Structure 1
Amino acid sequence: MKTTVDVLVQKYGGTSLQTLDHVRHAAVRIAEARRRGSAVAVVVSARGSRTDDLLRLAADVGAADPSRELDQLLAVGESESAALMALTLNALGVPAVSLTGPQAGVHTTDRHGDALIASIEAVRVREALDRGEVAVVTGFQGVDRAGDIATLGRGGSDTTAVALAARLRASACEIYTDVDGVFSADPRILPAARCLPWVQPGVMAEMAFAGARVLHTRCIELAAMEGVEVRVRNASSQAPGTTVVDREEIRPLETRRAVVAVTHDTDVARVLVHCRDSHRDLAPEVFGVLAASGTVVDLVARSGPYENEFRMGFTIRRSQVDAVRDALHELTARFGGGVHFDENVGKVSVVGMGLLSRPEYTARLMAALAAAGIPTSWISTSQMRLSVIVPRERTVDAVETLHREFHLDRPEPVVTSVRSAIV
């Protein structure tokens, strides 16, 4: 079998491999894809809570911070999954070989715990496919310039799968998880949420950044750049799932629904920075502190040049507060200022296309939340996302309110005329 035949990349997450029955079920699905004529490369995550268990072990010996040795430890989870999957496939009569990230030629940057994929050689993956074998590759890991294992951080296995699909010029990258696809809201908190058959990559990237947990932003950004078709499917069913791809022939017309989904994120903290010296612009130093720790920033606002003091507000992940707390306190104290962290907030976002061009959508969002008695503070608007900060305990209420306000529990309306009204 040569790799000139159709290549399919499948990725199985931790919940899809949690038990041996899950592993066998995934192996059967892989075997079926191979029987249909595809050369199959598989990317696997650590099984179940294996990564969390390893992190707890590291914490128990006082070594929870990212480091070379922690990456050595965490890589065990994916290596176990890959070897177990290859053994299961071979037992089914399907020839398979497991490859670690370094063996598969995944080269990364040098940041332990949050490395980026620099390149994938995939020589041994291609050789395995040419021999008619299934190549089972560990996600979440690669090798840095020093020759050491480096892990990829959040969404690392999804990103590995998409990067491998791009390198192999695969027809698609199928991401198998524990839900039926990408929904109009989190179905775990909102039963009325609908599974979306198709989502544009740009919209999906905004959904991921704003809190949708099905796919990670890095994975979708890479898929969009490389033109990889991503299919999100349930590992436990035959549901068609959601396809994430930019298809010109099915792009929405102006008269179709602009709002696609409502997402939420409770891993959020508001940060307020102030300094009495109105002539001191702390913004470059503040962003330098955040960048040094890899902290993602959203919803930024700041004072202007003619105000009496420097003030700046922004949101970061609540899980990253400890990484920047001391540095921001030290920075602001040097100039007679201070910093305040509010961790009792959530972010709710309406995601779609052309939202900034439709100011009535922002008005509807604010009016709906006000009518529901949900307080709001900061708001950010763009063509693809309207985000608002609400009290953390009202986050789910806000999702339900906006999902209902924008009629996302209803199927996409069929457009029969250019005069059709916007929903």
Structure 2
Amino acid sequence: MALIVQKYGGTSVGTTERIKNVARRVQASRERGDDVVVVVSAMSGETNRLLALAEEIGPNPPAREVDVLVSTGEQVTIALLTMALESIGTPARCYTGPQVRILTDSAHSRARILDIDAKQINDDLRLGRVVVVAGFQGVDESGAITTLGRGGSDTTAVAIAAALKADECQIYTDVDGVYTTDPRVVPKARRLERITVEEMLELASLGSKVLQIRSVEFAGKYKVPLRVLSSFKEGPGTLITYEENPMEEPLISGIAFNRDEAKLTVLGAPDVPGIAASILGPISDAGIEVDMIIQNVSTSGATDFTFTVHKRDYEQALKILQDNKDKLGAREIYGDPKIVKLSLVGVGMRSHAGVASTMFKALSAEGINIQMISTSEIKISVVVDEKYLELGVRTLHTAFGLDDENAQVEVEGDNA
């Protein structure tokens, strides 16, 4: 008998019919002899509806009360799913995050889990019940309801699996696993049988939306085996594991891309100690995160400095640089919001040379100019003009042998 934690996202529980479908899946797991804990999100669109109501009341509503409001979405789902399970003869009991006592810090809308009291869940499992828990929410030391941020139900599921020492945490979504890249961009994308936590962390941080990055971090920290599966069709999904097998690891596991970056360049600043801090200090003080950075030194004693930020911060960052232009002693400052970042990810890079040269040659053959390059042990990222996004991803996908000639991928929703 295995202990399985299953998580179902908003699309999977988007209607009462889909909730009934989830109940049947849970029942099937029970019939295979598994103990099951289910974590659910709010029905699709419900969190946005609740946030819109808050905005109608007035601008900048108190974060504490917003958490009270949006946490009700999951409460609806846990009650309906428990009813659906009981209606087909499967004993079940549901709990909100505070009832289970998912203890968090007090950072409303972005709280982090500190501890989970597993006693109530274990008691119900011993009584032969399925336990249904609201994802995305918890409670702080003062008793205030907190929420974990978008995608927080994934983190709830992994944290519960860790607390229970579950055999596997299964994340059910609207795709049937983790693919080599987004199937909507590359129809020949291939579903991966398995991928390491390290690779999944890189993919999640680089733009893949299959899993929330915090949930993957949690899985790696507590060695929780994760599996991504489809709520709508049968299949083995993708196992995300902390175990590596160097004999079987592919050179490249996946290609991620990010449309949400913009580039800023400071030209002709003096090449003196501290210039990078002078450029990035005011950016950091404004709460703007910087991603890729390139600094070039010229023989004339001047330096060119280029970095990327999220597109939403582009205008603010550009204004900060322009306001500090004279102080920096820069000749010119300009920006480009029309870029994308393409990234290769694979633990196989550790033991293989030539990945970068293959990447650069493939892009060059298609006339795609590389503007910036960043590398790590298992990742290579490049910045290119946004018009080359699809061509670039498809070119790299083929160049590294990732194409599935028989691929027939059905994608529903927005989590591919």
Structure 1 residue 26 displacement after superposition: 0.5
Aligned residue for 1:110? 106
Cα 1:394–1:246 change in 2 (3 A) is same
Asked if 1:397 is matched to 2:391, the reply is yes
Deviates more, 1:117-126 or 1:396-405: 117-126
Deviates more, 1:126-135 or 1:61-70: 61-70
User: Aligned equivalents of 1:379 and 1:385: distance in 2?
Assistant: 11
Asked if 1:35 is matched to 2:28, the reply is no
Structure 1 residue 284 displacement after superposition: 8.3
Cα 1:117–1:378 change in 2 (3 A) is same
Which residue, 292, 297, 306 being the options, matches 1:299? 292
* Structure 1 residue identity aligned to 2:197: P
1:274/1:332 contact within 8 Å kept: no
Structure 1 residue 182 displacement after superposition: 0.6
* Structure 2 residue identity aligned to 1:30: V
Aligned residue for 1:220? 216
Aligned residue for 2:143? 147
Asked if 1:366 is matched to 2:360, the reply is yes
Cα 1:20–1:370 change in 2 (3 A) is same
User: Aligned equivalents of 2:281 and 2:98: distance in 1?
Assistant: 34
Cα 1:311–1:139 change in 2 (3 A) is farther
* Structure 2 residue identity aligned to 1:14: G
Cα 1:28–1:332 change in 2 (3 A) is farther
Asked if 1:57 is matched to 2:53, the reply is yes
Which residue, 189, 200, 221 being the options, matches 1:193? 189
Structure 1 residue 237 displacement after superposition: 0.9
Aligned residue for 2:379? 385
Aligned residue for 2:170? 174
Cα 1:218–1:271 change in 2 (3 A) is farther
Residues 281-339 of structure 1: CA distance to partner in whole angstroms, max 9, x if unpaired? 4538946864884x6543233467998567643333334557x6499569947945797
Structure 1 residue 66 displacement after superposition: 7.7
Identity across the alignment (%): 37
Counterparts of 1:399-414 in structure 2 under 5 Å?
A: 399-410=393-404
* Structure 1 residue identity aligned to 2:307: F
Aligned residue for 2:41? 45
Structure 1 residue 410 displacement after superposition: 4.8
Cα 1:44–1:284 change in 2 (3 A) is farther
User: Aligned equivalents of 2:38 and 2:384: distance in 1?
Assistant: 40
Asked if 1:136 is matched to 2:129, the reply is no
Asked if 1:268 is matched to 2:264, the reply is no
Residues 72-94 of structure 1: CA distance to partner in whole angstroms, max 9, x if unpaired? 22212222211221121122222
Residues 223-274 of structure 1: CA distance to partner in whole angstroms, max 9, x if unpaired? 11111111110111111111111335xx1328x6311111112122234467
Gaps of 5+ in 1: 412-423
1:140/1:153 contact within 8 Å kept: yes
* Structure 2 residue identity aligned to 1:300: I
Aligned residue for 1:211? 207
* Structure 1 residue identity aligned to 2:397: H
Count, aligned residues = 402
Residues 58-81 of structure 1: CA distance to partner in whole angstroms, max 9, x if unpaired? 334443578222222221222221
Deviates more, 1:90-99 or 1:303-312: 303-312
| TM superposition score normalised by structure 2 | 0.86
* Structure 2 residue identity aligned to 1:104: V
| TM superposition score normalised by structure 1 | 0.85
Deviates more, 1:187-196 or 1:256-265: 256-265
Asked if 1:351 is matched to 2:345, the reply is yes
Secondary structure, in 3 states, of the residue corresponding to 1:42? Answer: strand
1:282/1:310 contact within 8 Å kept: no
Structure 1 residue 167 displacement after superposition: 0.3
1:193/1:408 contact within 8 Å kept: yes
User: Aligned equivalents of 1:385 and 1:66: distance in 2?
Assistant: 40
* Structure 2 residue identity aligned to 1:265: N
* Structure 2 residue identity aligned to 1:88: A
Secondary structure, in 3 states, of the residue corresponding to 1:51? Answer: helix
Secondary structure, in 3 states, of the residue corresponding to 1:259? Answer: coil
